[in-house]
């Protein structure tokens, strides 16, 4: 499973940003095979209105925050479109800064900012495996977003909850799906699907090479390599 989440570093006004992103993640964006320019993306997928914008504008209008967002494909353009709508609705100015493209560089950037107690950013998009490392520096969102978090995959919400504190909110994610041939499993004496990596490896190793390829188990490349080696060995010298 891969996912990206939004963490909040400080200030009550930032909860408004998470609320806005929460609405954006609810399914307004459709599938796309190519990255679109900001103008095209805005036309195809209009940024949603910010819930409770009037109250937010009255309380926080005029404030400024910095958001470290995505940098992959057209994601930065999406972030700009969302920030523009957010500022229009709430009066809160948002500076969008794309994070480094490399995951390790992005992690190091955040780690440096946190360890130095810098106030250079307020909100950031991070990898799903980072909340535990950054939790000591983050605001507990549960009082404000605990109810909204129920709209998301609970596995990710639990991942974002550290020592009882909701330190991040899911933004988007993708989940791998394993397809398998039930007839081939039965052929080799397995009645249940391969649910764990260890179980899949055990099943794959017990299959014939060609059946392993048809089943689509991890190790298909190795199976093809074995077939190639066998074909080479069968060739006359």
Task: Output the furthest CA–CA distance in the chain (Å, rounded).
Answer: 84
The string of pLDDT tens digits covering residues 139-192 is 999 999 999 999 988 888 999 999 999 999 998 777 666 666 777 777 777 776
Both tokens of residue 138?
Answer: 């983050």
User: What are residue 165's DSSP bridge partners?
Assistant: 162
**pLDDT value for 42:** 47
The string of pLDDT tens digits covering residues 83-95 is 999 999 999 999 9
**pLDDT value for 113:** 92
How many angstroms separate the CA atoms of 8 and 17, rounded?
Answer: 9
Which has the closest alpha carbon to 19: 123, 145, 146? 145
Q: Which of 16-20, 122-126, 177-181 has the highest mean pLDDT?
A: 122-126
Q: For residue 169, give the H/E element and its range.
A: strand 168-174
User: What are residue 97's DSSP bridge partners?
Assistant: 68
* 42-56, 79-93, 204-218: least confident range: 204-218
114-134 average pLDDT score:
91
Domains of the chain (ranges plus CATH)? Answer: 2-174 (3.40.190), 182-234 (no CATH)
107-126 average pLDDT score:
92
Both tokens of residue 61?
Answer: 């209008």
How many angstroms separate the CA atoms of 96 and 102, rounded?
Answer: 18
**pLDDT value for 227:** 41
- Phi, psi values for residue 124, rounded to 5°: -150, 150
- Please state whether beta strands 165-166 and 2-8 pair in parallel, antiparallel, or not at all (unpaired): unpaired
pLDDT band at 46 (very low <50, low <70, confident <90, very high): confident
- Phi, psi values for residue 206, rounded to 5°: -90, -10
User: What are residue 66's DSSP bridge partners?
Assistant: 95
Q: Helix, strand, or coil here: 12?
A: coil
Length of the chain: 237
- Please state whether beta strands 93-98 and 123-127 pair in parallel, antiparallel, or not at all (unpaired): unpaired
Q: Residues 231, 210: contact at Cβ < 8 Å?
A: no
């Amino acid at each position: 499973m891969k996912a990206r989440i939004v963490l909040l570093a400080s200030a009550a006004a930032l909860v408004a940003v998470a609320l806005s992103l929460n609405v954006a993640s609810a399914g307004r964006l459709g599938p796309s095979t190519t990255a679109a320019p900001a103008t095209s993306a805005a036309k195809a997928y209009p940024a949603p209105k910010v819930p409770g914008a009037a109250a937010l504008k009255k309380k926080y209008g005029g404030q400024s925050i910095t958001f470290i967002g995505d940098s992959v494909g057209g994601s930065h353009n999406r972030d700009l479109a969302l920030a523009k709508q957010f500022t229009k609705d709430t009066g809160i100015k948002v500076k969008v800064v794309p994070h480094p493209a490399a995951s390790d560089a992005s992690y190091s950037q955040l780690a440096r900012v946190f360890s130095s107690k810098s106030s250079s950013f307020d909100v950031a998009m991070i990898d799903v495996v980072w909340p535990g490392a950054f939790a000591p520096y983050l605001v507990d969102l549960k009082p404000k977003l605990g109810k909204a978090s129920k709209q998301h995959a609970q596995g990710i919400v639990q991942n974002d909850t550290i020592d009882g504190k909701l330190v991040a909110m899911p933004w988007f994610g993708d989940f791998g799906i394993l397809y398998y041939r039930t007839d081939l499993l039965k052929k080799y004496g397995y009645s249940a699907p391969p649910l764990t990596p260890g179980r899949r490896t055990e099943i794959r190793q017990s299959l014939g090479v060609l059946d392993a390829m048809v089943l689509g188990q991890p190790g298909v490349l190795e199976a093809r390599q074995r077939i190639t080696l066998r074909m080479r060995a069968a060739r006359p010298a």
